[in-house]
Amino acid sequence: MESWRLGRRKGGVLLVTANVGSLFEDPEQLQKIWLEEFYKTVQTHKPLFLALHCQELGGKSLEASVHYVKYFVQELMASKALRDYNRVRIYLDMNYKSAEDFTALGSFYFIHDSLEVVHQWDFKYKRFETVTGKEIISDDLEVTTQVEKEKFPREFSPELKWSRKGFFRTRWSMLECEFDLVNIHLFHDVSNVEAWKQSPSPYCENRRKALNFVLERVTDKRHEKVPYFFFGDFNFRLDSRQLFENLIPGAVPESLESQGEKMMFRETGNDRKILLQVEKKLFNYDDQKVFLENNGSAVLQFDKEALHFEDRLCERDISFPPSYPYSEDSHNPKQYMNTRVPAWCDRIFMSPSAKEMLEKSASEDKSIVYDNIGTNVCMGDHKPVFLSFQLCEGAGKRNAIEHKCPCCVVL
């Protein structure tokens, strides 16, 4: 064990991202299963600090689902699995009447009673304040000084008539480590056909502009720079052009209508079997196994969007299948819907300094776990993704390596 880690307290951290939109389309069936799997993950990893970032809160219409959202929050607050978390901060964007500001994001933070002092940053007064008690804030998030909230400018995705995409940012201090947690939801692909027409697709550029926007906000001069974690629905997609060429070598698409919004890929042999059909919201491929076997490793090479940010965003190795779009049929929890190309949309990234902080804290590599939740059950169209790690006191400080003490105390 390195000498700087000796004598330092350690605490488990669990970061979870979940697009929960489909939970509110069928709340009677999906919410209970979803919560049970979430609680199992918490009980397995036993974090002292738990952060849950949700996107698409309320589903397609929050106005029609407000009572289901309240039930979801109440269940979390009253659950036995979370009863030892005596400090809670929940931030919900429920202002669906404000088209200019509404993001449908929800950020949930739970602090275990055995973790002594945790501070949260006030972005207005530029100071840390001690976290006590339990608070749920769903009104006037624009003026809540513990959260930075912003919706992306409309010009970032001109194809969309209306969008709820944006981000939340909070800042925390625990065990003498400071870090930002950013809940983010980037733009989706409007059309599978348009995504195929060029490589990279035009939708990649929309996401790139939005993610650049957030990175610049988080690292500007208004506040001191600290390690940061971005976790949410990035909507990153596989490079469709290159993927199709790999799945069906030599196949030439047949356009089925003059607008080119329906395509068919056939075998090159005599029987000319249809292998793939693609429409705006249809991806019908005859063999889904390529996306599931060995956690989709055969198609991971086409996941390229994050490479543009590799100097600013780091990620653990992916060892789970694409997180979207899973079937919402409870009898087919491992099957993808034929609406979109399966992709790793739900991700957890970190700054290089946050990566260093994790690596300093890890007693061994396996103490850092990056995986999905609910592999064998239906969790809606997105499988939640989590990152579990130990945080060692002072690991984010430059002088931490100089610390020398006799033993490491685990909280």
Domain with residue 36: its CATH number is 3.60.10.10
Q: Tell me, what DSSP letter sits at residue 197?
A: H
pLDDT in the model for residue 260: 62
Length of the chain: 411
d(C-alpha 87, C-alpha 115), whole Å: 10
d(C-alpha 228, C-alpha 219), whole Å: 9
* In a domain? residue 8: yes
* In a domain? residue 316: yes
* In a domain? residue 54: yes
Q: Which residues pair with 283 in a beta bridge?
A: 278
**What number of H helices and E strands is found in the chain?**
7, 19
- Per-residue pLDDT tens over the stretch 331-360: 899 999 999 999 999 999 999 999 999 998
* In a domain? residue 144: yes
State the pLDDT confidence band at 259, using cuts at 50, 70 and 90: low
Domain tally for the chain?
1
Amino acid at site 410: V
What is the percentage of the chain residues whose pLDDT exceeds 90?
75
Average pLDDT over residues 255-271: 75
pLDDT in the model for residue 409: 38
Structural domain containing residue 115: 3-237+287-410
* In a domain? residue 257: no
Q: Does residue 161 or residue 19 have the better pLDDT?
A: 19
Supply the mean pLDDT for the chain. 90
Average pLDDT over residues 78-90: 97
Q: Is the pLDDT of residue 121 over 60?
A: yes
**What is the phi-psi region of residue 328: left when phi exceeds 0, alpha when psi lies from -120 to 50, beta otherwise?**
alpha
Which among 17, 10, 1, 6 has a CA at the least distance from the CA of 229? Answer: 17
Q: Is the pLDDT of residue 400 over 80?
A: no
Question: What are the tokens at 271?
Answer: 């029987």
pLDDT in the model for residue 64: 86
d(C-alpha 109, C-alpha 126), whole Å: 20
Burial label, 208 (beta-carbon count in 10 A; 0-12, 13-18, 19+): middle
223 and 169 in contact (C-beta within 8 Å)?
no
